[in-house]
Each structure stands twice: as C-alpha cells, then as structure tokens.
Amino acid sequence: MSSASSDPDGAATTSLSGEFVAERRADASAFEQQLWDVLDEIPDPHIPVSLVEMAMIYDVDEADGHVTVEMSFPCMGCPAYDMIHNDVESCLTVLDGVDEVDVEVVWDPVWSKDMLTPEVRSKMNESGISL
C-alpha cells in the first residue's frame, strides 16, 4: 500500500510499499520481468524470503544490455551488503542480453517493514519472525 503525504511545499509524495514495487514491476518490459523473476530467487541471507519479497528491490531498468537495479537495505551498515550486491550482479550478468549490471543503493525512501505485503508478513510469522 502506498501512502501519500505532503512535503513542506505542498507537493504530494508517495512512500514505497509492496504494492508500489508491484506497480513498477507491472510496468516493466518482458525482459525486465525476467530480471525481476531472477532477483526474486535471491534469498535474503537473514530472513526466509527473497530480496524482492523483502521489498529491497525498488526498480529494475534495462537498456541495450545495461541493467540498473535500484535497491535499499533494511539498515545502513548491513553486514551482508557486499554479499547481496554480489548476488544481484552475478545472478543477472549470466543472462543472455545482459552486458553490464549496476546496483544503485538508495536510502530514499528509507526501507520499512510497512513495505512488506501481507503475504510476506504471514510467511515471516510462520517462520517464527515477529513483526
């Protein structure tokens, strides 16, 4: 669910949520959909869900073999930062049609558990993770 608010200038801003990410994914080309599917197979190293399910992947864009993945982390200084970054690059660079992968880590919007869909929350609760 995305929520709207106003900044000091009165402009509407939207927070990122699972549904917002789903919208970005729905707007992706067929090849970008394939890239999202591959990213959805990369597990979070700490929690029994994928990076996509954790809402850490904000956007995927491909142009002429150059793939840009916009993502965030649940916290700054994540001990698995390098491992996750390498997983994203290595899983995508082996695909036909991918020549280069850039992973852009962004902190705006800040990741929040509010970004998790009800299905992911349920999956985490079933694994003993309280939210």
The predicted-structure confidence for 72-105, as pLDDT tens digits, reads as follows 999 888 889 999 999 999 999 999 999 999 999 9
Q: What is the mean pLDDT of the chain?
A: 84
31 phi/psi in degrees, rounded to 5 = -70, -40
Structure confidence by residue, pLDDT tens digits, 111-124: 999 889 899 999 99
Domains contained in the chain, CATH given: 14-113 (3.30.300.130)
| Cβ contacts of 40-47, under 8 Å, gap ≥ 24 | 41/91, 42/84, 42/87, 42/88, 42/91, 44/84, 45/80, 45/83, 45/84, 46/80, 47/124, 47/127, 47/129
pTM above 0.85, yes or no: no
What are 42-60's pLDDT values in tens digits?
A: 999 988 999 999 999 999 9
Distances (CA, A) of 45 to 60, 76, 81: 21, 16, 10
